[in-house]
Amino acid sequence: MQHGRKRGTKMNNKAYDLASYSFASGEQILVDTNIWLYLFPAPGNPQQSFARQYSTAFSRLVSAQAQPVLDPMVLSEYLNRYCRIEWAANFKEPLHESSMSRIAGKIMMIARSATKVVVILRCRGARHSERVILPQPFGHWFCRRTAALSSL
């Protein structure tokens, strides 16, 4: 996670220990892809140590009323990695560009599953190079499905 005081302000480069960091009310926290991947995971083992650490920190973040922030690039990477996990687990064929046309249908099926989780953020007004501040309750942003979702 990265932090910044206000939108548009410079972020300093100091590293903080996630386990002991004290989140402040209103503080904006840019949550990176790997954390989203564990909080809203593709099919996987429920007993992953990263998931335990990240979710404990995220729970403290929400309790402190800090503001999780999602960058469109992070969202894109989340979708990509979710698809890669589904692909690697279910298909032996390497995911190369040259094989994309043959496997487009399968990729669509996986992407549709992943976008059920993430696309709603775009529908709620995220534009290129804008960061989205997720309101409370944050969870509803991820689980609400809209008509726009099914059109993808």
Considering only 22-30, 67-75, 82-90, 100-108, which stretch makes contact with other proteins by CB under 8 A? 82-90
* Residue 9 beta carbon to other proteins: minimum distance, rounded to whole angstroms: 27
Should residue 144 be labelled a site residue for other proteins when binding is judged by CB under 8 A? yes
* Residue 23 beta carbon to other proteins: minimum distance, rounded to whole angstroms: 13
Should residue 117 be labelled a site residue for other proteins when binding is judged by CB under 8 A? yes
Task: Give the Cα-Cα-Cα angle 44, 115, 102 (nearest 5 degrees).
Answer: 85
State which of residues 63, 98, 101, 151 lies at the interface with other proteins (CB under 8 A).
63
Strands (E), the chain: 2-4, 28-30, 67-70, 132-133
Which residues, in sequence order, are CB contacts of 110 under 8 Å at separation 6+?
82, 83, 86, 87
91: phi > 0 → left, psi -120 to 50 → alpha, else beta; which?
A: beta
Q: Binding residues for other proteins, per CB under 8 A? A: 34, 37-48, 50-52, 55-56, 58-59, 62-63, 81, 84-90, 113, 116-117, 136-140, 142-145
